[in-house]
Structure 1
Amino acid sequence: MVCQAHIAKCRLQGPHRPLHIYHQPGDFIIGGIVSHGGFLSTSATFMEEPPPVLPEELVVVPKVYQHILALAFAVKEINGCSHILPNITLGFHIYDSYTNARKTYLATLILLSKLEKCVPNYVCDTENNLTGVIGGLDSEISFYVATILDIYKIPQETDIPKSTGGIMDFSLTTCVWLVYGSAPVMNDKTPGLSFYQLTAQESLQYEGIISLLLHFKWTWIGVTAMDNTNGERFVHTVLQLFSKNGICFAFIERIPIFSFLSEIKDMLQQGAKIHDKIMSSKANVVVANGDFYSMAIFKWLPYLSEHDMTNDVKSKVWITTAEIEFTSFVYQRNWDSGLFNGAIAFEIHSRDPSGFHQYVEHRNPSNTDGDGFIRDFWQQAFDCVFPDITADQVEGNICTGEEKLENLPGSFFEMSMTGHSYSIHSAVYAMAHALHAMSTSRPRHIGMAYGGRVKNQNQLFWQLHHILRRISFNNTEGDVVSFNKNGEIASSLDIINWIIFSNQSLRRVRVGKMDPGAPSDQAFTIDIEVITWHSWFNQARPLSACTESCQPGFSKKVKEGKPFCCYDCILCPEGKISNQEDMNDCTKCSDENYPSKERNICIPKSISFLSYEEPLGISLAIVALSFAFITTLVLGTFLKNHKTPIVKANNQNITYTLLVTLLLCFLCALLFIGQPKKMTCLLQQAAFGIIFSVAVSCVLAKTVTVVLAFMATKPGSRMRMWVGKRLTNSIVISCSLIQAGICTLWLAISPPFPDVDKHSMPEEIILECNVGTVIMFYCVLSYMGLLAIISFTVAFLARKLPDIFNEAKFITFSMLVFCSVWLSFVPSYLSTKGKYTVAVEIFSILASSAGLLGCIFSPKCYIILLRPELNNREQIISINKMKN
């Protein structure tokens, strides 16, 4: 009577479709919860517009039937294997959840009660208890199962053998629960329930999607998720993870789910807006998250639009998560799935177990006993009905039972085992291996499984939990099956390219893998050569970026008010480069390098100095030597004609000193050519300053001599006492010593030294002589300029003195040239860089020296060499008389 009362309480009120039961008795029982039905369907035929969805009957998702076959096939294999659970039969029950809370609760209660009866909180002595539950294809159904399983737990303390190391938790579930779909989303109010998840870790899936997006440089993407708790959790997670990796979102859309007929119109209107937003977006990549059946909902999108999309064949690259399977509702039999051709799917790693294809191939409604699902599946999948002997006539096509499963479209059924089915297959083997390990280590527990006391039975299940947490084995296909500390299977993810043909058949091409056991740099692998893209992309690799990539030589500048993936490309500033695409900032080249013209690479700078090997250097050297040779010739001419009046005039010794000094000036220019050395740097400016000061001092002495000589010729003049070598020598020596003192002080305080200038010239490293202190350098120039100005002034005043040998006017021209050269030297010196600075100084030395040589000595050489008749005393006296 007690049992009958409990049964009555468990029954659902009102008419409902009976639960499917696929039953096989055994020593150990495994329960299964599948989402085989629960969606609304219609009897209308789809033509050009999607049909209205009417609640005429519940419809199955045909593809889920393979999950049932995977469980049954695994149990069949185990029962036929002598190495696992010998002499023990593994049994199972499968119940349909109908994706309905009430019926899921009922199915779970029946699993925990007597076979095919709902007797909560009561276990008869002769009844077999449930060993494990495999189920929960989506997170919502898993949550319903979790709610019931969590209630039925027995708090007790059980000692663990010493080898296991400690005491287990007090709260232990009455059976083992393995989830092969989305894990249930728990909240703070939900008690903690231990379960084992057969799908890959979510973190691995997120990491794989990010790696895929970054590999193809898809930084501007859209996201679609189902409008439920699981979808909201996915969106919240990817928003943070993707943004940290430089990925932006063009849109985030939540696909509505309807529960009542009155919601369908609103759902279609909302879906039309979502479709138009997806298709009009610049983002060519859409990351889709959902549950097992979500793809069937996504198939509505091509038929929902607020605009005329007749000629629009645009598509996107769809990236689907592992929970999504290529499925269809039965009324979508003839719907075109071409929108998803070329999709890249992350799928649970799977293989095709040996013999599974033949096992599936021989499934037939006429020769399958105990399968409560196959007739409904057959009718829905093949769009036919089985004759009912109680009905007068049958509407629709008659099911013959000879239809071939391989002829069904890929969205209805696949002959190869899918990832979810492979997870179920692994889950059954995990249970079997755990039971085998328990039975071999504790033989006495076997007897307890057939009606022992409840306390001992709970000890049995505790042992099963303990073993399952640590189990590791190779399945029939050689894949390792084991769980981590969180109860998640240590499995990899396959990256699959969906190729959908016009007849809606599906071919899966494995193009990559996400392997958590591989080194970090090898965890993600992909072969882009075998990927088939949607025809809209013309087999070119799709691009998905808010802004075209900034090429090397440019950097990104984020647009104000836009996501960070939307930016402008600006040219790198001078001195900086970017050698990769989409760099946030340009980098500065080292001092030894300079940016290329395109500013994408750093080029080693060339070593630069004024050398004898280059045209400029050799030209200046030749000019200097040429003038030095001419000066030598002039000096020789004067020495040869030293007794002539024109040579004796204006202090012969000063003339010789000036010529020697000019010779040294020309040769001094050679110190500035060649690689700077310590000694040449010390001599350059000091020699230049002192030698030129001597030259200008000689010119000054000659000018003063001319003036004094003219004044001494006047009767009664006292200037005769000043005329002579003593005065001229004093002028030359005193003026030269002042410059020598300045140069000595310069060398003592901060002497010039060899230096490397890496900054003045962008493409050259300049080897130069650093002047040490610029102030002393300009002091030398200023003093030399002061002497030149004094000489010019005196010469200018004496230029009209009546003397045939008067040099004043020639000295005036020479000083004018000299001052002009050195006045133009200063701005030229400051405006040039590198070896050209040295060239400017050499040119100034040569030009000013040549000016002195030409203006002062060319007239005398003309008379000596070409007009010797004028070079005599009588001729000079007669000329003077004529002038007077």
Structure 2
Amino acid sequence: MPLIIIEMDLLSGTFLLLFALFAPVSSVPDGSCEQWTDLESSVVHKDGDVVLGGMFPIHSKGVEQELSFKSLPDRRTCRGFNMRVFRWSQAMVFFIEEINRSNVLLPNVTLGYRLYDTCGLEVHSMRTALSVVSQPLKSDSAGACTSPSIPLIVGDSGSTLSMAISRVLNLFNVPLVSYFASCACLSDKNRFPYFFRTIPSDVNQARALARLVKHFGWTWVGTMGADDAYGRTGIDMFTAEVVRLGVCVEYRVIIPKLPSQQRVRDIVRTIRASTARVVVAFAIEEDIEPVVREFVRQNVTGKQWVASEAWVTSTLISTRENLASLSGTIGFAIRRAQIPRLRDFLNSLNVLAEPYNPFVREFWETQFQCSLNTTHPHGSMAEPVRYNKTCTGWERVDDTDSIYNDVSQLRVTYNVHKAIYAVAHSLHNLLYCEQRQGSSTSETCADVHNLQPWQVAQYLRKVNYTTQFGDVVHFDKNGDPVGSYDLVNWQRSSSDGPVDYVTVGRFDSILPQDEQLALSSEGIVWHGGTREVPGSVCSESCPRGYRKVTRAGQPVCCYDCVPCADGTISNTTGQDPECTPCPEDFWSNEEHDTCIPKQIEFLSYTEAFGMGLAAAAILGATVTLAVAAIFLRHRNTPIVRANNSELSFLLLLSLCLCFLCALTFLGQPSRWACPLRRTSFGLSFALCLSCLLSKTLVVLMAFRATLPGNNAARWFRPPQQRLGVFICSVLQVMVCAAWLVKAPPYPVKNNWLYRDRIILECHLGSAALFCCVLGYIGCLAAFCFLLAFLARKLPDNFNEAKFITFSMLIFCAVWITYIPAYVSSPGKFTVAVEIFAILASSFGVLLCIFFPKCYIIIFLPENNTKRYLMSQKGGR
């Protein structure tokens, strides 16, 4: 049935509109213009030279009617008298009369008005618009009926209502100046070319609310909006803006215009069950009031409300009963002003005064809870309410306190002030225009008796004036004013006192982006009376050293915190922490919140392992010197003199150098240490193996010399032995010299082996020359082993060749196993393996060659004779 009513009303409105479009302009014989019947009977009017239309939802709800389709519909009936909106309509009358008294603005021109009640319904709004454009035509100076008597309308309060009205008024080029329609959709000049407003577009409010939410660190919010253009468009724009800023919306609730009790309970249940502690609501006070009432009935607390400008200063919502659930509400409100003498005008209202105002009677009866007994009809579209008490008509409004005469928060009323004065300034500029200088054509100003609506619209686009309160009023290309708001917080000065709307900040869209939002956080009182900013997040901020991982199938604001990987840190606690890698020479600490220098690792003298190797090397050198001392003391004994004592002492010297070269591998690699350790190793072992090779050849030649007719021994006397050692060593010296000249070893930082520490090691420089050094040592060892192996069974009681064989077996075994151990050992253990191979091979040669001789010298001196040494094994 409601749908049928709306369709029939729209149909009847269409017929009236077509009649208005095609009706001929004519004058009746008596010279008066034709009078058309007003579609609405509840009209507050006053005649003037220029009559302004005003549309206000003085009643907030409509009453359904039965349509018989056999007769004209009865007068529309509304309910829910709104004293706040009634104050707006009275303020329009006050501002018009103030302008009429002015000698500066519109002198000699009287403004009139026709005020309509739209009941907040589209059907009523369209009927009102049709009633305005079908008003009696005005007579010009020649007596002809020409232009409509109302060239402009101030209204309506709702965005949806203003959209419906604008579509009708566009056909007649009649401008509409709204004081409370903030939907961004009305900025479309292609659809609404004659729409203007004195309230900022919701684009600014959505941006301001999104910035506010981001400022306080709320990343998990819920949204609520009325089922109209204002609510749906508002939450859509807000959602788009906060999502761009990294905020997630948990739910989106739409409040129906006529919600059932079950639907209201479902809405409150959704809010109560949500984990978001912040609720952003875009709705007018009439739409959100049922939800708030149910919210309070269920005693829901713990939610921080963020209100749109439509209800943030509503005394209907901010009642004492609602504060338990809505305390600390915060939101942006349009700018307010203290308008002088307005309260006196409102209090001077008299139900018996003329001209008769049909809404005053209902206000009087509602305010004083009594029934009037006058000859005037009720007049208002509301159904009359009978009270037991009878009004005298002499009650005083200023003896009461209500929303009607509360002028402490004049915000929408101030917008009405801007709208009326903007119209007055545009009419003044139109009626008292100045001829353009240098114009070749004669330009005349508009005739007040032949005022065209499109002319008023043209001058409205150019209006620019400063109010008496210091605000500049002008319209941009979309008919919008500058986006400017006060940030209001609900506070109470006492436990039983009324709500104070405390301004704690402001938003100005005209300023640079980083300066648009200015607020005082310490002055805000949050829900529950606390000064601490409440949190509203799906997941708590990740601590330092952690990063967030989004949960599968959930919004990005819902995540888990996992530790940063090794080598990366996170030193912030924001909502979007990232693990950043440390620089090359740094590593993360255990908490992964700071980069610390990587641990420098090399085989040092100070650590236990290094100290052990150093002790072994010093021990080896000491034992070698001890053996040399023993040999020196017994240098004239046969066992020392055998096989050339010079070679023995030279061999002991090379072994001592081999032990000492191991010490060069300890400590931090440097420019001089790296070449030293490699060359000392190569030269020491080359000298050692050269001596062993000469000793082996001496043994072989000595045996050959015992054979008859063999003179080979004369080629291996001491001079030739020394020459052989020298030649073999010089070849290694030449290789090492070439190595040092071409590409010597140098220190490097090994960052690739371990990520958490730096290994200081020596780079080989030229790997080919290093292989030549090792290869040459290997060739000497192999050749020496081969010759010693051939001479191991020579008939001698003390055959040194077999001891050389054993020493070469140990030497070759050590260095063959060294290769895989060297490759597989990590870090500093690579150097340890190399030192171990040097020490093991050196100790092998020392023990195998010199231990048997020292044993005989010390413990078996009776065997230290030439006879014993030269005798065959097993005999004397």
TM-score range, shorter chain: 0.7 to 0.9
Equivalent of residue 303 in structure 2, options 299, 302, 316:
316
Q: Is the 8 A contact 1:182 1:291 kept in 2?
A: no
Matches within 5 A, 1:333-352: 336=322, 338-348=324-334, 350-352=335-337
Q: Does 1:34 align with 2:19?
A: no
Cα separation, 2, equivalents of 1:614 and 1:184: 75
Cα separation, 2, equivalents of 1:602 and 1:761: 16
Equivalent of residue 362 in structure 2, options 349, 372, 376:
376
Instruction: Give the TM-score normalised by structure 2.
Output: 0.77
Matches within 5 A, 1:471-510: 471=464, 473-499=465-491, 505-510=498-503
Q: Is the 8 A contact 1:137 1:292 kept in 2?
A: no
Equivalent of residue 598 in structure 1, options 575, 586, 591:
591
Structure 2 residue aligned with 1:696: 689
1:280 positional shift: 1.0
Q: Is the 8 A contact 1:125 1:452 kept in 2?
A: no
SS of the residue aligned with 1:38? strand
Cα separation, 2, equivalents of 1:396 and 1:522: 59
1:95-138 deviation per Cα after TM superposition (whole angstroms, max 9, x unaligned): 2221133432343355556xxxx336987769995464321211
1:626 positional shift: 7.1
Identity of aligned residues (%): 33
1:345 positional shift: 1.4
1:203 positional shift: 2.8
SS of the residue aligned with 1:21? strand
* Cα distance change of structure 1 residues 877 and 338 upon mapping to structure 2, 3 Å threshold: closer
Instruction: Give the TM-score normalised by structure 1.
Output: 0.77
Equivalent of residue 287 in structure 1, options 276, 280, 286:
280
Q: Is the 8 A contact 1:383 1:397 kept in 2?
A: no
1:556 positional shift: 3.0
1:828-857 deviation per Cα after TM superposition (whole angstroms, max 9, x unaligned): 544555555445544544554455446644
Structure 1 residue aligned with 2:80: 59
1:142 positional shift: 0.5
Q: Does 1:657 align with 2:650?
A: yes
Q: Is the 8 A contact 1:366 1:401 kept in 2?
A: no
Q: Does 1:96 align with 2:117?
A: yes
* Cα distance change of structure 1 residues 276 and 462 upon mapping to structure 2, 3 Å threshold: closer
1:294-333 deviation per Cα after TM superposition (whole angstroms, max 9, x unaligned): 33243244278xxxx5xx6344222233344554779x98
Cα separation, 2, equivalents of 1:297 and 1:326: 17
Cα separation, 1, equivalents of 2:266 and 2:592: 45
1:150 positional shift: 1.1
Q: Which amino acid aligns with 1:204?
A: N
Q: Does 1:11 align with 2:26?
A: no
Structure 2 residue aligned with 1:158: none
Cα separation, 2, equivalents of 1:625 and 1:398: 123
Q: Which amino acid aligns with 2:124?
A: K
Q: Is the 8 A contact 1:109 1:120 kept in 2?
A: no
1:12-57 deviation per Cα after TM superposition (whole angstroms, max 9, x unaligned): 5xxxxx425264x665554322112131599xxxxxxxxxxxx996
Q: Which amino acid aligns with 1:467?
A: K
Q: Is the 8 A contact 2:156 2:180 kept in 1?
A: yes
Q: Is the 8 A contact 1:353 1:476 kept in 2?
A: no
Q: Is the 8 A contact 1:36 1:98 kept in 2?
A: yes
Structure 2 residue aligned with 1:21: 44
Q: Which amino acid aligns with 1:152?
A: F
Q: Which amino acid aligns with 2:567?
A: G
1:605 positional shift: 3.6
Structure 2 residue aligned with 1:299: 292
1:255 positional shift: 1.4
Cα separation, 2, equivalents of 1:798 and 1:360: 136
Q: Is the 8 A contact 2:338 2:407 kept in 1?
A: no
Cα separation, 2, equivalents of 1:544 and 1:237: 20
1:520 positional shift: 2.0
SS of the residue aligned with 1:659? helix
Cα separation, 2, equivalents of 1:187 and 1:654: 108
Q: Which amino acid aligns with 1:422?
A: Y
1:628 positional shift: 5.2
Cα separation, 2, equivalents of 1:635 and 1:369: 139
1:728-750 deviation per Cα after TM superposition (whole angstroms, max 9, x unaligned): 55775676567567656766876
Cα separation, 2, equivalents of 1:808 and 1:255: 108
Structure 2 residue aligned with 1:215: 215
Q: Which amino acid aligns with 2:164?
A: Y
Q: Is the 8 A contact 1:142 1:184 kept in 2?
A: no
Structure 1 residue aligned with 2:166: 146
Cα separation, 1, equivalents of 2:469 and 2:826: 75
Structure 2, unaligned stretches of length 5 or more? Answer: 1-26, 65-75, 379-383, 437-441
* Cα distance change of structure 1 residues 583 and 345 upon mapping to structure 2, 3 Å threshold: closer
Q: Is the 8 A contact 2:39 2:131 kept in 1?
A: no
SS of the residue aligned with 2:462? helix
Structure 2 residue aligned with 1:68: 89
Cα separation, 1, equivalents of 2:91 and 2:622: 107
SS of the residue aligned with 1:476? coil
Q: Is the 8 A contact 1:439 1:446 kept in 2?
A: no
Q: Which amino acid aligns with 1:119?
A: P
Q: Does 1:353 align with 2:338?
A: yes
Structure 2 residue aligned with 1:202: 202
Cα separation, 2, equivalents of 1:111 and 1:783: 115
1:48-107 deviation per Cα after TM superposition (whole angstroms, max 9, x unaligned): xxxxxxx99611233323433554554566566666556666554432221133432343
Cα separation, 2, equivalents of 1:607 and 1:78: 86
Matches within 5 A, 1:109-508: 109=130, 111-112=132-133, 118-119=135-136, 129-130=149-150, 132-153=152-173, 173=174, 175=175, 177-183=177-183, 185=185, 191-258=191-258, 267-291=260-284, 293-302=286-295, 309=298, 313-327=300-314, 336=322, 338-348=324-334, 350-353=335-338, 355=340, 358-359=343-344, 362=347, 365=350, 373-377=359-363, 379-380=365-366, 382=367, 384-389=369-374, 395=387, 401-402=395-396, 407-408=401-402, 414-437=406-429, 441-442=433-434, 451-454=448-451, 457=452, 461=456, 464-468=459-463, 471=464, 473-499=465-491, 505-508=498-501
SS of the residue aligned with 1:225? strand
SS of the residue aligned with 1:518? coil
Cα separation, 1, equivalents of 2:541 and 2:397: 54
* Cα distance change of structure 1 residues 782 and 638 upon mapping to structure 2, 3 Å threshold: same
1:766 positional shift: 4.5
* Cα distance change of structure 1 residues 583 and 491 upon mapping to structure 2, 3 Å threshold: closer
Q: Is the 8 A contact 1:285 1:319 kept in 2?
A: yes
Q: Is the 8 A contact 2:157 2:181 kept in 1?
A: yes
Q: Is the 8 A contact 1:822 1:844 kept in 2?
A: yes
Stretch deviating more after TM superposition (209-218 or 810-819): 810-819
* Cα distance change of structure 1 residues 95 and 659 upon mapping to structure 2, 3 Å threshold: same
Q: Is the 8 A contact 2:347 2:397 kept in 1?
A: no
Q: Is the 8 A contact 2:49 2:449 kept in 1?
A: no
Q: Is the 8 A contact 1:437 1:467 kept in 2?
A: no
Structure 1 residue aligned with 2:69: none
* Cα distance change of structure 1 residues 772 and 510 upon mapping to structure 2, 3 Å threshold: farther
Cα separation, 2, equivalents of 1:7 and 1:552: 79
Structure 2 residue aligned with 1:107: 128
SS of the residue aligned with 1:568? strand
